[in-house]
Amino acid sequence: MLRILSILFFISNLLFSSETIAVSYFDNTSDIKEFNPLSKGLADMLITDLSNQDKFHIVEREKLEKLIREIELGDSGFIDKNTAQELGKGLGATYMLTGSFLIIDETMRIDARLIDVGSGEIIMAEEITGEKNAFFELEKELVNKLINQFDIGLSRTQSRKINKVQTKSFDSFSTYSSALVELDDGNLEKSIILLEKATEFDEDFDKAWEKLENLEHRIADLLK
């Protein structure tokens, strides 16, 4: 019995001593409002990919959304270094990944910063540029730069999951991002309609199907 308790205590220490990374919404600097939802879509994809490793705990997007609403950052549309540090502390994060994206014609650029929440120091800054319709490659490149930054050893399974492309369709990704906005605003039916549209653009978009199924179950439970 004592041996079992010792093992459980050791495991719990590992779990609670794990460092945490939070991913904030990336600011849209394109001055085109139709791209605003991509802030949430990009964060959602980064969180999904980064969760497929076991060195760091990754904060769920829903927790970030809740905190942003509590400190009334939703309408500001800009997260600077100090704000990112404040968010990171509120989420109990060791590091905060933040930044911006710019879309001009068919070109997309992602500027990312990784901030040490305790000191406020920027420990990684990356600029990734490519074609808008190859946004998935830019996102994967950013994820892999983070993996390399912390020298995270990945198993074959973890590596495959991280490098799995959710969708290559910009229209599907954009529609999925809009669905997240409606979901966060409590518009479940609108979110479902948009998720269905996202799967029409790309029927292999597993993340959209998963979110759609969860929402349908949620509405069914509410109706009960």
Q: Express each pLDDT in 73-114 by its tens digit.
A: 544 456 777 788 888 899 999 999 999 999 999 999 999 999
- In contact, 215 and 180? CB cutoff 8 Å: no
**What pTM does this model have?**
0.86
Q: What pLDDT is attached to residue 73?
A: 59
Provide the pLDDT for residue 78.
62
Q: Cβ contacts of residue 160 below 8 Å, gap of 6+?
A: none
Question: Max Cα separation, the chain?
Answer: 65
Residue ranges for the chain with pLDDT beneath 50? 1-17, 74-76
CB atoms under 10 Å from CB of 13, counted, come to 10
Q: CA 170: distance to chain centroid?
A: 17
Q: Mark 20-32 as b/e (b = at least 16 C-beta within 10 Å).
A: bbbbbbbbbbbee
